Amino acid sequence: MRVDIWSDIVCPWCYLGKRRFERALEAFEDRAEVHVVHRSFQLDPTRPKGQTQNRRQMLMSKYHLAAAQVAAMDTRMEQTAAADGLEYHLRPDGVTGNTYDAHRLLHLAAARGQQDVTLDRFYRAYFTEGRSVFDDASLTLLAVESGLDAADVERVLASDAYAAEVAADVREAQSLGANGVPFFVFDHRFGVSGAQSTEVFAQVLARARESRVTSNR
């Protein structure tokens, strides 16, 4: 069984959805037969590379919220993440930016069998440690910490390597009607939108397995 997961590194619900899905997968009897593929999605692909903006200011502008409302929203998000064992520090001075290069590195990581650990490293760096995932220097350090070769990382960042793969992921998400992330597709048959509960993910895994068994009879 294959599970495709579209996500963006700066999406707090994506990190949470990944963790909830992983918990369901750990309890799944046929987990050894499940192949997980992380796919690219950009929440704001129009933002220029290298340009960052205060994250709370961005949310205030995007959703027409007051500063106090965004602060309260961040507090709730931190509490929700903590309940699932994740440590979020959504600081007032935190920034957001273009994640295109980070996604290209995740495709490199997939080619090297390191995609999951690299994605986790990017998430933890951004949401827990307050580190940048937007500039070459920071991305290189994080990718190397994840086990990727520095020369490989530098080669990708200095070129347009994996640009076609990122674009293909985005097109497929659009063709499936995914307007937001996280978005999960189980065995090319069942789509799940959002950071659903572990129980929901467990139910969909079981349903996908049963559908596969039935179709093979």
**With contact defined as beta carbons under 8 Å apart, do 118 and 106 qualify?**
yes
* Whether the predicted model's global pTM rises above the 0.85 cut: yes
The predicted structure's pLDDT at residue 216: 62
Please give the average per-residue pLDDT across 96-118, as a whole number. Answer: 98
**Cα 196 from Cα 20, distance rounded (Å):** 7
**Which pLDDT does position 179 carry in this prediction?**
87
Residue 190 has pLDDT above 90, yes or no: yes
Q: How far is CA 205 from CA 85, 88, 121, 172, in A?
A: 22, 28, 26, 22
Instruction: Indicate the average pLDDT of the chain.
Output: 96
Per cent of the chain over pLDDT 70 is 98
pLDDT (0 to 100) of residue 152:
98
Annotated domain spans of the chain? 2-215
How far apart, in whole angstroms, are the C-alpha atoms of residue 142 and residue 163?
20
Check residue 214 and give its pLDDT: 74
pLDDT score for 217:
55
Q: Which of 89, 90, 83, 115 is closest to 102 using CA atoms? A: 115
Query: For residue range 23-57, what is the model confidence (pLDDT) as tens digits?
Result: 999 999 999 999 999 999 999 999 998 899 999 99
For residue 36, give the amino acid letter: V
Q: In this structure, are residues 15 and 123 in contact, taking their beta carbons and an 8 Å threshold?
A: yes
User: C-alpha distances in angstroms, 70 versus 14, 65, 91, 136, 187?
Assistant: 19, 7, 11, 29, 37
For residues 72-91, average pLDDT: 98
The CATH code for residues 2-215 is 3.40.30.10
- What's the average model confidence in pLDDT over 87-110? 98
* pLDDT at 213 > cutoff 80: no
What is the C-alpha separation between 181 and 184, in angstroms, rounded? 9
The predicted model gives 152-159 an average pLDDT of 98
Q: Which of 22, 2, 34, 4 is nearest to 117 (CA)?
A: 22
Q: Tokens standing for 92?
A: 């007032």
Quick one: which H or E segment has residue 166? Answer: helix 163-175
